[in-house]
């Protein structure tokens, strides 16, 4: 009987002590490390994806959205290299500038599915990156809701020459003026013999071509342009590295030429009507690093057609 009572007292005492004790749970802060972008199909990180190709061609014709991103709008190619952002904005020297990468125009940083690009002049932009194929990505600007499409290539299989000739009208704009330095002795005398300077401006700027009869060696800032008009460049069938150039003089008719490029600052114009050959050199090279340069951004760039992408890798 005493044993039973003693057991009961011990049981009741332990029960009372248990009910008087408040359970305290201490929770520790848990740090979750940000996870990098990983392609669900390939397991590839964003950094690996962007560095998988040395240069990314900006397929400007596929751009979606009503707002232009200045440094992408003017770039023919861009590159992501060890935190430095490169771009080929000029056709002059393309393939040679920066060993093919172009100019150092900014920096970039990666975070999960996004790349932050800080351009030297245009500032910082954040893009969401989506991979569509092995060598095709979309850069989507969150704020402007604008998408740019990039196609990846290695430098040794990218056709810089095709890009050059498919956009040759921009090449003509990369000099402040072109000065005549040669006129062939053969050929019939004609009015264009008197034209010593040609100036080309971007399409959509109204009268985008000017000519001058000023004397050779005139300082660029002192050149007076006698005539204005529009110019047009067309392809020559089955010859990608030769074009035709038509100078449409306002009220004075047209002059038609076959246009060839001798080097990065010399062009040759053959005038079929007179059989005369002229050569012009570019003066006042304009390096387009940012949107503050003289070249306006343009949304009607021809570049090369999608079918040509296949040719680039062959």
* Per-residue DSSP letter, 45: B
CATH at 206? 2.40.128
CATH at 112? 2.40.128.280
Q: Is residue 117 within 8 Å of 130, Cβ to Cβ?
A: no
53 within some domain: yes
For the record, the structure tokens of 165 come out as 């000739």
Which residue, 113, 143, 107, 137, is CA-closest to 34? 113
Q: Which residues of 190-202 are buried (b: 16+ CB within 10 A; e: fewer)?
A: eebbebbbbbbbe
37 within some domain: no
> What does the pLDDT read at residue 275?
97
What pTM value is reported for the model? Answer: 0.77
Same-domain pairing of 183 and 195: yes
Residue owning tokens 């990468």:
101
d(CA 149, CA 252): 43
Top-confidence residue, 40 or 183: 183
303 within some domain: no
> What does the pLDDT read at residue 288?
79
pLDDT score of 175 more than 70: yes
End of a domain among 129, 151, 166? 166
C-alpha of 192 from chain center = 36
For the record, the structure tokens of 138 come out as 């979309």
Same-domain pairing of 179 and 274: yes
d(CA 75, CA 288): 9
Same-domain pairing of 117 and 216: no
Residue owning tokens 């005549």:
180
d(CA 228, CA 59): 32
Same-domain pairing of 50 and 60: yes
pLDDT score of 5 more than 80: no
306 within some domain: no
For the record, the structure tokens of 305 come out as 């057609």
148 within some domain: yes
* Per-residue DSSP letter, 38: B
Q: What is the mean pLDDT of residues 160-188?
A: 95
Lowest mean pLDDT among 164-168, 197-201, 296-300: 296-300
29 within some domain: no
For the record, the structure tokens of 281 come out as 């050199």
Same-domain pairing of 111 and 193: no
End of a domain among 136, 166, 196? 166
Same-domain pairing of 226 and 128: no
End of a domain among 117, 146, 166? 166
Total number of domains in the chain: 2
Q: Give me the residues paired with residue 70 across strands.
A: none
Same-domain pairing of 124 and 178: no
pLDDT score of 35 more than 90: no
Same-domain pairing of 62 and 146: yes
d(CA 266, CA 178): 9
Going along the chain, which residue ranges are E strands? 55-58, 77-81, 84-88, 103-111, 114-119, 123-133, 136-141, 146-153, 175-183, 197-200, 209-212, 227-236, 239-249, 253-263, 266-271, 276-285
301 within some domain: no
Same-domain pairing of 184 and 162: no
308 within some domain: no
Same-domain pairing of 197 and 232: yes
SS3 of residue 17 by DSSP: helix
Same-domain pairing of 248 and 199: yes
pLDDT score of 22 more than 70: no
Q: Domain range spanning residue 274?
A: 168-285
Same-domain pairing of 116 and 196: no
Q: What is the mean pLDDT of residues 109-135?
A: 94
């Amino acid at each position: 009987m005493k044993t039973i009572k003693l057991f009961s007292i011990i049981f009741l005492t332990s029960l009372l002590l248990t009910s008087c004790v408040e359970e305290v749970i201490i929770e520790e802060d848990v740090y979750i490390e940000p996870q990098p972008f990983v392609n669900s199909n390939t397991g590839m990180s964003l950094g690996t994806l962007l560095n998988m190709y040395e240069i990314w061609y900006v397929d400007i014709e596929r751009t979606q959205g009503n707002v232009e991103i200045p440094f992408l709008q003017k770039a023919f190619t861009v590159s992501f290299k060890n935190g430095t952002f490169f771009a080929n904005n000029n056709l002059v020297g393309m393939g040679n500038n920066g060993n093919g990468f172009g100019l150092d125009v900014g920096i970039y940083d990666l975070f999960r599915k996004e790349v932050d690009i800080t351009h030297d002049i245009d500032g910082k932009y954040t893009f969401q990156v989506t991979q569509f194929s092995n060598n095709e990505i979309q850069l989507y600007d969150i704020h402007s809701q604008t998408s740019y499409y990039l196609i990846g290539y290695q430098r040794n299989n990218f056709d810089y020459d095709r890009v050059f000739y498919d956009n040759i009208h921009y090449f003509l704009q990369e000099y402040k003026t072109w000065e005549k330095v040669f006129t062939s002795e053969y050929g019939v005398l004609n009015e264009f013999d008197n034209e010593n300077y040609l100036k080309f401006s971007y399409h959509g700027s109204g009268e985008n071509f000017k000519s001058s009869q000023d004397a050779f060696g005139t300082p660029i800032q002192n050149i007076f342009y006698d005539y204005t008009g529009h110019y047009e460049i067309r392809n020559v069938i089955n010859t990608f590295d030769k074009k035709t150039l038509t100078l449409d003089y306002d009220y004075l008719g047209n002059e038609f030429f076959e246009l060839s490029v001798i080097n990065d600052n010399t062009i040759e114009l053959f005038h079929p009507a007179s059989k005369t050959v002229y050569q012009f050199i570019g003066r006042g090279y304009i390096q387009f690093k940012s949107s503050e340069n003289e070249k306006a951004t343009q949304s009607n760039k021809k570049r090369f057609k999608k079918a040509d992408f296949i040719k680039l890798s062959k």
